Structure 1
Amino acid sequence: MTKDRITNQNTVWHDPTVLREHREALNGHRGAILWFTGLSGAGKSTIAHALEDRLHRDKIRTYVLDGDNVRRGLCKDLGFTDADRTENIRRIGEVSRLMMQAGVITLTAFISPFRSDRQIARSLVEPGDFIEIYCRAPLETCEARDPKGLYKKARAGQIPEFTGIDSPYEEPQTPEIIVDTDEQSVDECVETILKWLRQYKILT
């Protein structure tokens, strides 16, 4: 029997007295997970933060979980093997679920290259709570942008298992929202997302 299994058997769930609906009523809006996925350089973090700026000005409670930032703390023990990528996304999914239950619109900006991992994150919450946003851009565009110089390092063999170069990115098959970041400006992408959130009553 593993240590984790023993720990789980010795824990008892405590039901809260302040529920998600109470927090959402206080906030004046729903909690939700906005899951930005796409290649490195596709604009995930840029769009997530631009959207958060808009929502914050409208007094919407938000928080951005950024892939690079999270790997400096919560996931600093993880590398970039397939197993570590899966564990990285599992942790973020759990944190996002907790923040959503607190009534916060949680924006996550992660490459999250594998469909199965994104599905695990989606399965943690009820239908309608997980909004997958595909920041779509061709590899050539992302590599030309290369804002962090990562593609150059990957091509030089300095970063093994880099997504899009020697590790695959599995495109979403049925995302709730697609923004074509090689064709749309940041503001246009934000407007596309806001329109969807209003249409489906995440925002009222």
Structure 2
Amino acid sequence: MTALVAWMTGLSGAGKSTIAEKTAALLEEMGNKVLVLDGDAVRSKISPALGFTREDILENDRRLISLCLEAVSDYDVILVPKISPFKEQRAVTRQNLGEGFVEVYVRASIETVSTRDPKGLYKDSREGRLKGLIGVAPEVPYEPPESPELVLDTETSDPDSCARTLCDHLLAWRS
């Protein structure tokens, strides 16, 4: 059996990485072999020269798809917390990863993530120090999923309950 790949899309600051780490811990406690391919961490290691233009974002996604394809036979679940802003590319990702692909929308409004702002990106964007912030800059909009397999609303649920929900859904999909 090949791994389920939970492609966790949402704005920066929505809680994707936190939920992925908590979900991985829960799944591992149950004996599952889990890989987390965090979009930020992978970008810094395998794609440090890429920026945040549409083309660079698409290329980074292609590289992540390749990593997932290389790892699917070695894991039960692969969690990919990544902004992944474009519907078209998520459709390509779904096509490439096949039946094991699970789109998870980690939903939070731009107002909420701007308030959380754990990396200071929204502040830097407002103050003109950062151009092209996904979901803020018109050239890189965030296109919410239309029919994801799961929606985790981090405005109404805390990271622990979102992780439990994701864990439960992944286990149900695997069976």
Q: Tell me the distance in 2 between the aligned counterparts of 1:195 and 1:101.
A: 21
SS where residue 183 of structure 1 aligns? coil
After TM superposition, give the deviation of residue 92 of structure 1 in Å: 0.4
After TM superposition, give the deviation of residue 51 of structure 1 in Å: 0.2
AA of the residue aligned to 1:151: Y
- Deviating beyond 4 angstroms after TM superposition, the runs of 4 or more aligned structure 1 residues are none
1:16-165 alignment runs, 5 A limit: 21=1, 31-127=3-99, 129-165=100-136
After TM superposition, give the deviation of residue 158 of structure 1 in Å: 1.5
Two-structure CA RMSD over aligned residues (Å): 1.3
Q: Tell me the distance in 2 between the aligned counterparts of 1:183 and 1:150.
A: 23
AA of the residue aligned to 2:143: E
Q: Any conservation in 2 of the 1:36–1:133 contact (CA below 8 Å)?
A: yes
Q: Tell me the distance in 2 between the aligned counterparts of 1:104 and 1:74.
A: 23
Which structure has the greater CA radius of gyration? 1
SS where residue 124 of structure 1 aligns? helix
Query: Structure 2 regions of 5+ residues with no counterpart?
Result: none
TM-score (norm 1): 0.81
After TM superposition, give the deviation of residue 194 of structure 1 in Å: 2.1
Which residue of 1 is the match for residue 142 of structure 2?
169
After TM superposition, give the deviation of residue 70 of structure 1 in Å: 1.0
Q: Which has the higher contact order (CA 8 A, sep 6+)?
A: 2
Q: Tell me the distance in 2 between the aligned counterparts of 1:41 and 1:63.
A: 21
Percent identity of equivalent pairs: 39
Query: Structure 1 regions of 5+ residues with no counterpart?
Result: 1-20, 22-29
Q: Any conservation in 2 of the 1:36–1:108 contact (CA below 8 Å)?
A: yes
After TM superposition, give the deviation of residue 191 of structure 1 in Å: 1.9
TM-score (norm 2): 0.94
Deviates more, 1:47-56 or 1:188-197: 188-197
- Paired residue total: 173
